Structure 1
């Protein structure tokens, strides 16, 4: 079986070993880091730059995972390979989206049937990209699955280093709450879907415990036995525009569907278990 990954990044790096252990051949695109893709067990292809090889890979693929973000001109994979994808004979097609498509719910709950109301250009771009993939899938009978990912953490992407080096801050915005997901749970959700395809399926991929971001930082400090990082009001915090934009949305995301339809039991159902595992692994 052959898997092609457009945008073989952090999440795909945890899925690929699960697939290769089953005998899959995985090919992944990268802009500039083929060694990282190869280290995960995939055959790297530079893109842009390997369009002919990618057209061949699309034609030969049993499954395709799209993990590239939309740009100002829309989804880059569709822009480059729409006709090739329309002719593909796939048993599974996955698109990694984001829970940002739901926008701000003032801390309220959303599920996969909630109205999409993404705030800002990034949320709107994701809504547009999802719709474009759905249009292609309907027109050409492609087995599309959409995965709306919450905030991703895992090895190399945890809060511990900032807490250790004293740069962590507990940003306080009253009522703010995020959902999050450990990268290993993303990989197991994708694998469960590959094992039991349900075309046009949409899945929220998040843990059971939406929580204020300052609580996560505080818990990391407690695990390390270090003092709590200082609390800083949101309106006084020195943050990049990208980081500040994440605080524009406050919501709790339901994950019942991955459990009910895919039979997934999360390895890390809350940030406490996830952080404890990262610390035990030396992350």
Structure 2
């Protein structure tokens, strides 16, 4: 039986684990604290034993700071030395920084934006092994975590930023891309849908699907956003996914936010 060790059983990784188990894989995950069958991340003996028997290893753990990548610091040398069929890391398209709305593919420079810690971690994972698959992800949405959820809760804000667009990806399309990469060449891949769009258009569409009033369009000042949310609007880019389609044979099941939100509503 093929065994997958996943560091960081968060939202996306848990969806991937569920799908892999349905396909017949044995999956072992880690969390900060042991729960739901996952190992404690700091339980080195158990984690190293799981790593020794693993055929596939994935990390979805974000960097702790500019100079701290928890998985690599605790288990990097063991992962480097392991006999694996596949090794992967879930990164983020924030590594590209702001390009004023231009398209970015995997050849674009990284490290200039606010996600410097992520950029450093991305590069460290690429250097760890020759067979590493780095999947760079934009804004993730899916069941229980989508514009529909925010509109229902009354917390959705439509911010008017002329010319501002974002890319996004349905969580189940990340799952299918990761599995497709099991048999694909190593390297860096952008995993995004086909239609970058302004945030306010997505929120408006979600409201219409729910039969609710579309939230008013606000200026950035009127929206009164948190510092973390403000950072979201400091960068503007369109993420190209052609490499994953060509080399992995991957196609998003939800090629745009309209298809993705409709599936969640149903």
1:97 pairs with 2:91 = yes
Question: Which deviates more from structure 2 when the two are superposed, residues 182-191 or residues 152-161?
Answer: 152-161
**1:92/1:197 contact within 8 Å kept:** no
Gaps of 5+ in 1: 36-42
Match of 1:22 in 2: 23
Is 1:74 equivalent to 2:68 in the alignment?
yes
After superposition, give the CA deviation of every residue in 1:41-69 in whole Å (9 maximum; x if it has no partner).
Answer: xx410123x11111111111101001000
- Structure 1 residues 165 and 130: alpha-carbon distance in aligned structure 2, compared to 1, 3 A threshold: closer
Contact 1:59 1:87 in 2 (8 A): no
Structure 2: how far apart are the matches of 1:240 and 1:223?
27
Give 1:277's aligned residue.
263
Q: Name the residue aligned to 2:139.
A: 151
CA distance in 2, matches of 1:207, 1:254: 8
Instruction: Tell me, in whole angstroms, the C-alpha distance in 1 between the residues paired with 2:125 and 2:22.
Output: 29
Cα RMSD over matched residues?
1.3
Segments of 5+ residues of structure 2 without an aligned counterpart are none
Instruction: Tell me, yes or no, if the aligned pair for 2:51 and 2:79 is still in contact at 8 Å.
Output: yes
CA–CA distance in 2 between the matches of 1:149 and 1:169? 23
C-alpha deviation, 1:83, in angstroms: 2.1
Q: 1: distance between equivalents of 2:53 and 2:156?
A: 47
Match of 2:125 in 1: 133
Instruction: Indicate the residue corresponding to 1:171 in structure 2.
Output: 159
1:13–1:233 distance in 2 versus 1, CA, 3 Å: same
Give the Cα–Cα distance (whole angstroms) in 2 for the partners of residues 158 and 192 of structure 1.
24
Deviations 1:69-96 (A, max 9, x none): 0112321111111221122001100000
**Post-superposition CA distance 1:152-207 (Å, at most 9, x none):** 0000111223323433221111211100000000000001011x1312x1100100
1:3 match? 4
* Alpha-carbon spacing, 1:157–1:236, altered in 2? closer, same or farther (3 Å): same
Work out the number of aligned pairs and report it.
Answer: 264
CA apart distance, 1:137? 1.3
Alignment of 1:30-69 (within 5 A): 30-32=31-33, 34-35=35-36, 43-48=37-42, 50-69=43-62
Q: SS of the residue aligned with 1:34?
A: coil
Under a length normalisation based on structure 1, what TM-score does the superposition of the two structures give?
0.90
Task: Calculate the TM-score normalised by the size of structure 2.
Answer: 0.95
